[in-house]
Structures are given as structure tokens and as C-alpha cells.
């Protein structure tokens, strides 16, 4: 089971989390719209992947990505932006990560 923490704005949270939870091999551990809280939770929960919606209202996606990559053990950092990526790109990426995790 691939564990995921999601940083997403309130207005997009329901849609994005539903899309992620539609993948049987993936479990959303936590989600928040607050970047500091997301990083704190990532340090404690140690998710396999951290999904960052770049349209999050805090506007500090670049800083969050940089700090998230410094977490240990390393979580896969996945940037998400509706309209900039294929609609199924996130689902495809998470499904691939989940399957890769099982094959190790």
C-alpha cells in the first residue's frame, strides 16, 4: 500500500482526494491546505509520497517542494496542477509508484 500526504487548497481538496483514493493500492494518510502543517505531518507520518497541488493558496509551493525533498527518509514528491498535466497523470503516477513498491 502506497501512503500519501496531500497539500491542497480547501476548494480543490474533495476532488483531488477522491481522485487519489480511487486507486486501490493508495491510502491518503492526511491532507491539509497549510504547508507548514503538511511538512510537520510528513516528518511524523513518513508517507511514501507527498502530493503538492501547486495552486495551493499559500503560494509557497516552491519552498514546500524544496523542504519536502529534504525530509528523511525521502518521500516521493509529486507536483500536481490541473490544466497543466494530463487529467489522469496523477493517477497514473501514483499507480506506477504503488506497483513499483510491490515489486521491490
- Report, as an integer, the average pLDDT of 12-18: 91
All residues at 6 or more sequence positions from 38 whose CB lies less than 8 Å from its CB, including other chains: 5, 7, 32, 50, 52, 64
**pTM listed for this prediction:** 0.86
Q: What is the mean pLDDT of the chain?
A: 85
Could you confirm whether domain 2-99 is CATH 3.40.50.2300? yes
Write out pLDDT tens, residues 43-87.
Answer: 999 999 999 888 766 666 677 778 888 876 668 889 887 656 565
60-98 in b/e form (b: 16+ CB < 10 A) is ebeebbebbeeeeeebbbbbbeeeeeeeeebeebbbebb
Amino acid at each position: 500500500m502506497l501512503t500519501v500526504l496531500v497539500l491542497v487548497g480547501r476548494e480543490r481538496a474533495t476532488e483531488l482526494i477522491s481522485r487519489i483514493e480511487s486507486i486501490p493500492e493508495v491510502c491518503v494518510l492526511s491532507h491539509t491546505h497549510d504547508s507548514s502543517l503538511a511538512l510537520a505531518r510528513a516528518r511524523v507520518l513518513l508517507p511514501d509520497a507527498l502530493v503538492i497541488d501547486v495552486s495551493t493558496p499559500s503560494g509557497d509551493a516552491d519552498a514546500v517542494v524544496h523542504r519536502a525533498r529534504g525530509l528523511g527518509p525521502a518521500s516521493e514528491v509529486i507536483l500536481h496542477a490541473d490544466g497543466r498535466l494530463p487529467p489522469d497523470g496523477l493517477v497514473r503516477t501514483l499507480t506506477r509508484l504503488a506497483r513499483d513498491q510491490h515489486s521491490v
